Structure 1
Amino acid sequence: MMQRKHRTLGRPRKEQDGTSTKDTILHIATGMFLEKGYPLVSMDDVAQQCDVTKATVYYYYKTKTDLFTDAMVQLMNRIHERIVVILSTNEPLKKQLFQFAKGHLQATVDIDINSFMKEAKTSLSQEQLQLMQEAEQKMYDELEHALKKAMDKGEIPGSNPRLGALLFVSMVTTGNNMNTVFKNSFSSLDDLVTQIVDFYWDGLANGS
């Protein structure tokens, strides 16, 4: 009689409802980190929300910083993919910037990005920080390329496209740092995004 082949001790099943256990853990953990912040999420919390054992979480991620790093890198990679789609259309640059800003604000609507990352970075290793910085770099590279392309076409005056990319992301991020009362002074998300892009665009149009 054939003996039943056992899984390696501690090795979780590969799939759960068609999604790998690792992907499930990563997806749920990402949401938890974004909602609660890095310090308030434990590996126990993640295991409970994923309906797996703590040992299963540790099978894939040796530490919480490993899990956080993978979660943030994958999140930034998804944002990067979305940016590529937005900035590769034939739409005018101003409309592309509007879609970029709106997508960014929708994805981070209730997050103070600066505080969120500051809390986490104190716990990360240099290697983990490097991985996150490389993923973030891709986003700036795409925006810089779009600005340079618009400058070459004469759509906007020539200037430093890298600085332009950094300034635009900083302005968009400001939308996350507004207090609730100020945010509510805008009639809609589109109104907020329009005003941010208009401020930025006025600077570009004047060659500043």
Structure 2
Amino acid sequence: MKQSPRVLGRPRHDENAKPKKDIVLETATRLFIKEGYKNISMADVAKACNVTKATIYYYYPTKGDLYTSALLAMMDQIKLSILQILEESISFKDRLEKLVEIHLSATVDIDMKNFMREATINLSEFQLKEVQASENNMYKTIEHAMQLEMELGTIRKGNATFFAHSFLALMSVGYVKDREGKRIFQSEATAAKEIIDFFWKSVEK
């Protein structure tokens, strides 16, 4: 039986292997985290994946598409982690503290501010809107939790959007370093406790 011709440029697929598109995205994300957008080329990604540049371009027509997908994947993972923690059966304050600690630990090598700055500079208007929408969805997850806890009487009544953004702004303090390049908190656990103790004073009833 004659085999159907393979679509030009389409990578060979092993049914038992991890999808090549996923491997490309995961590899590119690691490279972007380590080196930044400008310092990584599609050829670098192809080399790290041990595939041809044609394979990379088959899945991601431009570096902007690849960078956008990397950002969206990271934000989706962060959102999923946030939801899982917020649904745990412990106090809201403990959930927030756990969320901060896990988030800081998981993103210790990721400079999200720099990721977003590079996105603003290098992505198209459409790609940037996709990233911003995903970022807003992360914020909405926290905002909805704040609103629910207000209704349950756990925290005082107020503006849930303000509470959520204040919480996220405080969480970013966990990344702050002194003049010698050392973080101001000795550990993520210490940072989480200090941040939530400070935040809780502003929202407790």
Q: TM-score, normalised by structure 1?
A: 0.91
Q: Is the 8 A contact 2:119 2:128 kept in 1?
A: no
1:149-206 Cα deviation digits (max 9, x unpaired): 11111111111111111111111122223246541x534221111111111112212x
1:137 and 1:9 map into 2 onto residues whose CA distance is 38
Counterpart residue type for residue 6 of structure 1: P
Q: Is the 8 A contact 1:87 1:142 kept in 2?
A: no
Residue 54 (structure 2) pairs with residue 59 (structure 1): no
Deviation at 1:115, TM superposition (A): 2.5
Q: How many residues align?
A: 204
Match of 1:96 in 2: 95
Calculate the aligned-residue CA RMSD, in Å: 1.8
Gaps of 5+ in 1: none
Residue 38 (structure 2) pairs with residue 39 (structure 1): yes
Identity, % of aligned positions: 39
1:112 and 1:89 map into 2 onto residues whose CA distance is 28
Gaps of 5+ in 2: none
Residue 122 (structure 2) pairs with residue 123 (structure 1): yes
1:37 and 1:53 map into 2 onto residues whose CA distance is 21
Deviation at 1:16, TM superposition (A): 7.5
Q: Is the 8 A contact 2:174 2:185 kept in 1?
A: no
Alpha-carbon distance change, 15 to 128 in structure 1, aligned in 2, over 3 angstroms: farther
Q: Is the 8 A contact 1:38 1:119 kept in 2?
A: yes
Q: Is the 8 A contact 1:26 1:71 kept in 2?
A: yes
1:187 and 1:25 map into 2 onto residues whose CA distance is 35
Deviation at 1:41, TM superposition (A): 1.2
Counterpart residue type for residue 103 of structure 1: I
Aligned counterparts, 1:14-29, within 5 A: 14-15=13-14, 18-29=17-28
Alpha-carbon distance change, 175 to 15 in structure 1, aligned in 2, over 3 angstroms: farther
Match of 1:10 in 2: 9
Residue 114 (structure 2) pairs with residue 109 (structure 1): no
1:120 and 1:67 map into 2 onto residues whose CA distance is 11
Residue 205 (structure 2) pairs with residue 192 (structure 1): no
Counterpart residue type for residue 41 of structure 2: S
Q: Is the 8 A contact 2:33 2:111 kept in 1?
A: no
Residue 86 (structure 2) pairs with residue 87 (structure 1): yes
Deviation at 1:14, TM superposition (A): 2.8
Match of 2:162 in 1: 163
